[in-house]
Protein backbone atom coordinates (compact mmCIF):
# COMPACT_ATOMS: atom_id res chain seq x y z
CA UNK A 1 0.00 0.00 0.00
CA UNK A 2 1.25 3.48 -0.84
CA UNK A 3 -0.43 6.45 0.83
CA UNK A 4 0.44 10.13 0.66
CA UNK A 5 -0.26 11.40 4.15
CA UNK A 6 0.35 14.75 5.80
CA UNK A 7 1.72 14.51 9.31
CA UNK A 8 2.99 16.72 12.09
CA UNK A 9 6.32 16.02 13.74
CA UNK A 10 6.18 16.71 17.46
CA UNK A 11 8.12 15.37 20.43
CA UNK A 12 10.11 13.06 18.15
CA UNK A 13 7.03 11.36 16.68
CA UNK A 14 5.24 11.71 13.34
CA UNK A 15 1.50 12.15 13.91
CA UNK A 16 -0.68 11.64 10.79
CA UNK A 17 -3.39 14.23 10.22
CA UNK A 18 -5.79 11.57 8.92
CA UNK A 19 -6.48 7.99 10.09
CA UNK A 20 -4.49 5.22 8.40
CA UNK A 21 -5.53 1.60 7.77
CA UNK A 22 -2.56 0.18 9.68
CA UNK A 23 -2.30 -2.36 12.47
CA UNK A 24 -0.83 -1.24 15.79
CA UNK A 25 2.98 -1.34 15.71
CA UNK A 26 3.01 -2.12 11.98
CA UNK A 27 6.29 -1.09 10.43
CA UNK A 28 6.16 1.40 7.57
CA UNK A 29 8.70 3.27 5.49
CA UNK A 30 8.53 7.07 5.54
CA UNK A 31 9.80 9.51 2.95
CA UNK A 32 9.89 12.92 4.61
CA UNK A 33 9.42 16.05 2.52
CA UNK A 34 9.38 19.27 4.51
CA UNK A 35 7.22 22.15 3.35
CA UNK A 36 10.07 24.59 4.07
CA UNK A 37 12.32 25.59 1.24
CA UNK A 38 15.82 24.29 1.93
CA UNK A 39 17.51 26.89 -0.25
CA UNK A 40 16.16 29.79 1.77
CA UNK A 41 17.55 30.56 5.19
CA UNK A 42 14.67 30.43 7.70
CA UNK A 43 15.81 33.71 9.27
CA UNK A 44 15.84 35.46 5.87
CA UNK A 45 12.38 34.05 5.17
CA UNK A 46 11.10 35.39 8.49
CA UNK A 47 12.62 38.82 7.84
CA UNK A 48 11.03 38.94 4.37
CA UNK A 49 7.62 38.15 5.86
CA UNK A 50 8.03 41.06 8.29
CA UNK A 51 8.74 43.61 5.55
CA UNK A 52 5.78 45.82 4.91
CA UNK A 53 5.58 47.34 1.47
CA UNK A 54 2.51 48.87 -0.08
CA UNK A 55 0.62 46.57 -2.43
CA UNK A 56 0.87 47.52 -6.09
CA UNK A 57 -2.07 47.20 -8.39
CA UNK A 58 -1.77 45.37 -11.70
CA UNK A 59 -2.21 48.69 -13.50
CA UNK A 60 0.71 50.21 -11.57
CA UNK A 61 2.92 47.24 -12.39
CA UNK A 62 2.02 47.46 -16.08
CA UNK A 63 2.76 51.19 -16.06
CA UNK A 64 6.21 50.61 -14.56
CA UNK A 65 6.98 47.76 -16.98
CA UNK A 66 5.92 49.91 -19.93
CA UNK A 67 8.65 52.42 -19.00
CA UNK A 68 11.38 49.86 -19.73
CA UNK A 69 12.72 50.51 -23.25
CA UNK A 70 12.80 47.74 -25.84
CA UNK A 71 11.24 44.34 -25.44
CA UNK A 72 12.25 40.97 -24.14
CA UNK A 73 11.71 39.48 -27.59
CA UNK A 74 14.14 42.02 -29.08
CA UNK A 75 16.75 41.11 -26.45
CA UNK A 76 16.40 37.37 -27.18
CA UNK A 77 16.70 37.94 -30.93
CA UNK A 78 19.77 40.16 -30.43
CA UNK A 79 21.39 37.57 -28.18
CA UNK A 80 20.80 34.70 -30.62
CA UNK A 81 22.05 36.60 -33.62
CA UNK A 82 20.95 35.82 -37.15
CA UNK A 83 20.39 32.22 -38.19
Identify the burial level of 33 via C-beta atoms within 10 angstroms of its C-beta, where 0-12 means exposed, 13-18 middle and 19 or more buried. Answer: exposed
81: left (phi over 0), alpha (psi -120 to 50) or beta: left
Instruction: Note down pLDDT in tens along the chain; length 83 residues.
Output: 788 899 988 889 999 999 999 999 999 999 888 776 666 677 777 787 787 777 888 898 889 888 888 877 888 888 887 76
What is the distance between the alpha carbons of residues 73 and 50, in angstroms, rounded to a whole number? 36
What is the distance between the alpha carbons of residues 9 and 71, in angstroms, rounded to a whole number? 49
Identify the burial level of 7 via C-beta atoms within 10 angstroms of its C-beta, where 0-12 means exposed, 13-18 middle and 19 or more buried. Answer: middle
pTM for this entry: 0.39
Amino acid sequence: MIEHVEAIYEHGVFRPLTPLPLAEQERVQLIVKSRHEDWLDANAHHMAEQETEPELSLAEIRTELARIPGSWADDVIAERGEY
